[in-house]
Structures are given as C-alpha cells and as structure tokens.
Amino acid sequence: MKRKLYVAYGSNMSIDQMKKRCPESLCLGIAKIEGYRLFFKEFATIKKSKKHGVPILLWSISPKDEEALDKYEGFPRMYYKADISIDFNGRTLTSMVYIMSDKRNVTPPSQWYYDVIHAAYLRFDIDLRHLNLALSHTWDLYDRKEVRYHQRYIFDKDN
C-alpha cells in the first residue's frame, strides 16, 4: 500500500476528526508552509502570498484515507488537489494539499468550525496569531464584498 503525505491546515488538524474519517492516517507533526495565506470561504483554504506562512499538520495517509478525504473535501467540485513543497524537520518534502475552488465566495466560518481549528492550534501549541489573522482577513474581504453588493444593488435599483 503506497502512502502519501497530506497537509492539513483546517479542521483536519483535529486528531479526533482524522482518526474517525481516516483510520489509517498517521500524524507526523507540525510544520509551516511558506508563501501561502490562510483564510476562509466558510471553510479554510489557502492562497499564494509572498509575505505569509501557514501552520500545518502533516499526515501520512493511505489510499483509503485519501478516498475518504476526497468525499469530505468535496473533491473535485469544492476543493482541488495540488502538490506543495514543505520543510519538515530540515527535509524538503512534497505533500498533497486541498485548496478551495476560486468559484466559492469569501465567507467567515461557523463558530463550530473555527473552534475545531482553534482547539488544534492549542493542542499543538501553534501561535494563535495565524488563525486570528486569517479570520480578520476573511472578515475584511467579506465586509468589502458586502459593501460592493449593497452599493451595486442600490445603484441598480435607482437606475
């Protein structure tokens, strides 16, 4: 059975969730991917950003685990897969990551979803600043989108 490395940056950082969803998965530890920024489109996603990095949990998964993750992540409609290079314990490794489709709108996460990620950050002693910045960035983008929508609606309504 050929195993694969998988990068989790959202709710799959939860050991409990992953053990239920992917019983053959093995948690390898925490790392950080540079050149990406975390934000939300209701659920966590990442986008390229030269100035940022995203804390992650690295997993070793089986093909059966990957099938379960594909279903959970809504692959290929909601998330697509990409290979990403990460530095893990001084070694550069290639790992699979799910990234949300550009078609989905920026939307803040539910409290439950945020709390799952927050708990994982606490469990692995990851600086909460990264998660708080992601939430703040999401709200900034969401508020701007809402303002544009309402301005367009008012403008269209008046014309």
Residue 54 and residue 37 in contact, taking contact as beta carbons nearer than 8 Å: yes
pLDDT in tens, 64-95: 999 999 999 999 999 999 999 999 999 999 99
Q: For residue range 47-56, list pLDDT tens digits in order.
A: 999 999 999 9
* pLDDT higher than 70, residue 153: no
Domains observed in the chain: 4-158 (3.10.490.10)
Q: What share of the chain is helix, strand, coil (3-state, %, to 5)?
A: 40, 40, 20
Is the whole model's pTM more than 0.85, yes or no?
yes
